[in-house]
Chain A
Amino acid sequence: MEWEIVIGLEVHVQLSTKSKLFSGASTRFGAEPNTQACAIDLAMPGTLPVPNEEAFRYAVMFGLAMNAEIGKRSVFERKNYFYPDLPKGYQTTQLAEPIVGAGEIEIHLDDGTSKKVRLHHAHLEEDAGKSLHEDFQGMSGIDLNRAGTPLIEIVSEPDMRSPAEAVAYLKKIHSIVTYLGISDGDMSQGSMRCDANVSVRLKGEEKLGTRTELKNINSFRFVERAIKVEAERQIDILEDGGTVIQETRLYDSDKNETRSMRSKEVANDYRYFPCPDLLPVILTDDYVEKIRSELPELPDAKLARFQSEYQLSAYDASLLTQERALADYFEAAAKESGEPKLAANWITGELAALLNREELSIEQSPVSALQLAGLIKRVTDNTISSKIAKQVFEAMAKGEGSADQVIEKRGLKQVSDSGAIEQMVDQVLAASGTQVENYRNADESKRPKMMGYFVGQVMKASKGQANPQMINKILKEKLDALL
């Protein structure tokens, strides 16, 4: 039997407004507990919420980037449930009339293929606070700093068919919100969270299987693993003749398994109704069009432009456009050096390895785009070989200054003095009697390959600083003369 996995994602993205969705309290991350929870956030009697215009602007930007309909009239509703990190006893959210309606985006998979994923809708809502369950004499501690922070919840259609597609979709959402600058998208700090609805069905079957909802998956890697392990669980049940129960499950990354959240067994009944404290929000066409005209270049447009303007491969362009900061870095290095292809190679190669090793983001790169461009220029004008360039790069990463400063200080300038190279070649040939003999006796077709040995020796003698083209030329002349 061949099974098909069907996945829909609900992604919560924290909007990076300065103040909360309904109050003027700060949303800054990492403050002392409850120092950013005001009377409105605490649901004090007599308080009234007033929505934050910037949150609407961000949500509209997102909707436009998702090619979605914009809800020019949107309505807040109350979703009623009881939990101590939600002091009002309801979450103010949107249901029937959300700010963003149906849309569609294209996701890019690692194998180079693309696919469209439909957006069901996206709505504005407030975040809850945090419960801390450590050690308070059998009590829980509540920090309400996060309560009321604006979120957009982005609900996809069940259009994804593999864990890899789910990850590609999530990366696309991440890339769009960070390009727009409406969220920092930091999954480790909870700025972006993901729930996955997963079901399986026999390939060719049209009816959807019973789904389970996987809660709060907090990294790209876990999304992939959680969906995979949950789909396997469902397939095992079905192949044994059982039935999948519709329920909410929690992914345990330590054990790599999902388990039922028993406390939520009572069927959810949120008794939504329009919030009487808030009137419908009406946005004008002018308002929406102004936002559209101010949208920055989005990942797909940048991807296409990097290929046409800089002649990058689709693969390089997709790597370099995933993050806006990385794309900016590349463009600065490409423009300054005049060598986009080399800049792309350096960034996806040495620089990516360095950042990965040091666990740094591109914004924290110890080598700036201008420094990298300076290094590339010294390679293209033959001041240094590409091998020496790697040394210079490492030195720049350690803070030894610009490429020129490193080359000067360490004396790495390429030797292009033909006399000096000739001398090194003579010494190498004199010391390599056997190899020279083999070379002379070898078939002509094998000689170019055998030259590699001599080139390597001369390079070694020059401590890597001899101009490789010149070594080749001089060596070839000397060896040919011996034939």
Chain B
Amino acid sequence: MAVDTQTVEKLAELARIAISAETIDEVSNRLGDVLQLVDQLQAVHTEGVAPMAHPLDEVQVLRADEVTEPNRREEFLALAPQSEAGLYLVPKVID
């Protein structure tokens, strides 16, 4: 059961992924396989079972409110394709 082309295109747009016309059929088939798996899972009788937020049945550990991270701006900026005046530069975003 393939996902229709339109849905694949919308998902690609939301995920900011470019999917070429040649691969779109393959992607829709693979997504269809995933959905089939989900259908199988949904067929399981789960009434009265609390949903799990996480596969590990553990509780989150919290940290104390302390500043532990030093300023490493120059190292991080050096990894970026472009930077200026301490800022990361990205293609112009207009709102």
Contact = CB atoms under 8 A, between A and B. Distances in A.
Task: Name the residue among B54, B69, B73, B86 with the largest chain A CB count within 10 angstroms.
Answer: B69
Contact of B67 (A24, A53, A144): A24
Interface of A: 17-19, 23-26, 32-40, 42, 50-56, 75, 80, 82-84, 97, 131-133, 136, 138-144, 261, 263, 266, 269, 271, 274, 276, 278-282
Interface string B1-42: 000000000000111100000000000000000000000000
A279 B58 CA distance: 7
Nearest to A282: B59
Given A35-B73, A50-B61, A82-B16, A18 B86 contact: no
B91 to A, nearest CB: 6
Interface of A is mostly: loop
B90 A139 contact: yes
A18 B61 CA distance: 19
A38 B71 CA distance: 7
What are the 10 tightest A-B residue pairs by CB atom distance, in nearest-first order? Answer: A24-B68, A141-B87, A54-B65, A38-B69, A53-B62, A279-B60, A33-B86, A139-B89, A142-B88, A25-B69
Contacts, number: 127
- Assign chain B's interface to a size class: 35 or more
B47 interface: no
B85 interface: yes
Interface of B is mostly: loop
Contacts of A266: 13
Interface in B39-72: 53-54, 56, 58-69, 71-72
Task: Name the residue among B56, B65, B77 with the largest chain A CB count within 10 angstroms.
Answer: B65
Contacts of B84: 136, 141
Contacts of A280: 53-54, 59-60
A34 B67 contact: no
B76 A34 contact: yes
Given A80-B14, A274-B54, 13 more contacts: A18-B65, A18-B66, A18-B67, A19-B66, A24-B66, A34-B77, A53-B65, A54-B65, A139-B90, A140-B90, A278-B54, A280-B53, A281-B60
Contact of B89 (A26, A140, A261): A140
Contact of A279 (B59, B66, B67, B94): B59
Nearest to B95: A263
Contacts of A19: 65-69
16 contacts: A18-B67, A24-B67, A24-B68, A24-B69, A50-B63, A56-B62, A80-B14, A84-B93, A141-B85, A142-B88, A142-B89, A144-B88, A276-B54, A279-B58, A281-B60, A282-B59
Given A75-B53, A141-B88, A51 B62 contact: yes
B87 A136 contact: yes
B69 A52 contact: no
A280 B60 CA distance: 6
Contacts of A35: 71, 73, 86
